[in-house]
Amino acid sequence: MSKVMDLVAPYTSSRLLILMYHRFMHDNDEGYVTTQSVFRDQVEFIKRYFTVVALEEYLQLGESEKRKIRNPIALTVDDGYRNFYRHAFPVLKDSSVPATVYVPVNFIEHGQWMWQDKNKYILRNSSRPRITLEWNGLSHVFPVDTFEHLMDSLDKAYELCMEIPLEERSIFSQALAEAAGVTLPEKPVPEFEPLSWEEVREMEGSGIHFGSHTMNHEILTQVDCSVARIELSDSKRCLEERLGHEIYGFCYPNGSYSAEIVAAVEECGYRYAVTTEGGFNIDPLSLAGLSRETPPLTGRYRSMLMHCCLKPLGHHLMSRMRKVFNN
């Protein structure tokens, strides 16, 4: 690994790698998210070959200070699920590794379902191979008989919800539940439970930073500019009131942003924003569009090498080539 990193260095001077996680689970649970033991293996790999930094602290350093840090890496987690507190935070605390968690404020504030998770629960728990939903005068079919069909149906439900206002999405999910023959629990099941403010404050004392992920996980490029600004400004203000200090970071829901959204992020007082676009971050950093890589679902050496070195290098080189050809 060290030899590979040395080969990469000439192309990625002062590079910063940011990893992007979402949900975690116990080793005995079933699913397609990171298990606790895999996460522990990944943290051990990261600590061996990288210098782990808290993103908020790293970004405040000058360029000369950044260059002194060998292979800097920052860990980030989207959405603020309680399974981070249960399964990932103990690993980070034991290893003295910092991370940044981006939360949709109303998810924490009200302790209810995030709107997209309702549809995940419904489609995954239906005993019917195909679900037909009559919605807004149209018939929509959601096949769930195979994993590939389920993934496609999840995407379809997500896209349909993005076409309607936030307050109508619960009506959509209830209609989908009835069509699927599924009873949707009033409160989120453990897999989709949010953090509590008490847990957030506890983790802040152990190296975990927090940033905004809007108020309601709205996809900002899909809503009116006035709604986007409220999502940005209110989430920052509410987090600062709850935690008692300034909030620096923002995470674009779904990684979706535009020039107008970037301008709004900056005007609302955020110092940086992270995307879902892969690659290394090279000085001078594009603070309103920091790149992040998704780690593998395994802690094996080769997989981590690919996702933490070769894959971001490929993204970096492709980005540079696009800039050359576009000019």
Between β-strands 272-274 and 51-52, what pairing exists: parallel, antiparallel or unpaired? unpaired
Instruction: At 152, list the tokens.
Output: 């496609």
Q: What is the pLDDT of residue 167?
A: 87
Residue type, 36: Q
Dump pLDDT digits (tens) for 244-285: 999 999 999 999 999 999 999 999 999 999 999 988 988 777
pLDDT > 60? residue 8? no
How far is Cα 206 from Cα 204, in angstroms, rounded to an integer? 5
For 25-66, the pLDDT digits (tens) are 887 766 678 899 999 999 999 999 899 999 999 999 988 898
- What are the pLDDT digits (tens) for 79-93? 999 999 999 999 999
- Across the chain, mean pLDDT equals 90
Domains in the chain, please, with CATH?
2-110+194-326 (3.20.20.370), 115-180 (no CATH)
What is the band of 319 on the pLDDT scale with cuts at 50, 70, 90? low
Q: Residues 36, 91: contact at Cβ < 8 Å?
A: yes
Contact 4, 305 (CB under 8 A): yes
- In 55-146, which ranges are continuous DSSP H helix? 55-58, 63-67, 82-83, 89-95, 105-110, 115-125
Band the pLDDT of 301: cuts 50, 70, 90. Answer: confident
Contact between 155 and 148 (Cβ < 8 Å): no
Is the alpha carbon torsion for 124, 35, 18, 89 positive or negative? positive
Supply the pLDDT for residue 310: 76
pLDDT of residue 6: 58
Share of the chain above pLDDT 70, in %: 91
Least confident piece of the model among 8-22, 25-39, 98-112, 217-231: 8-22
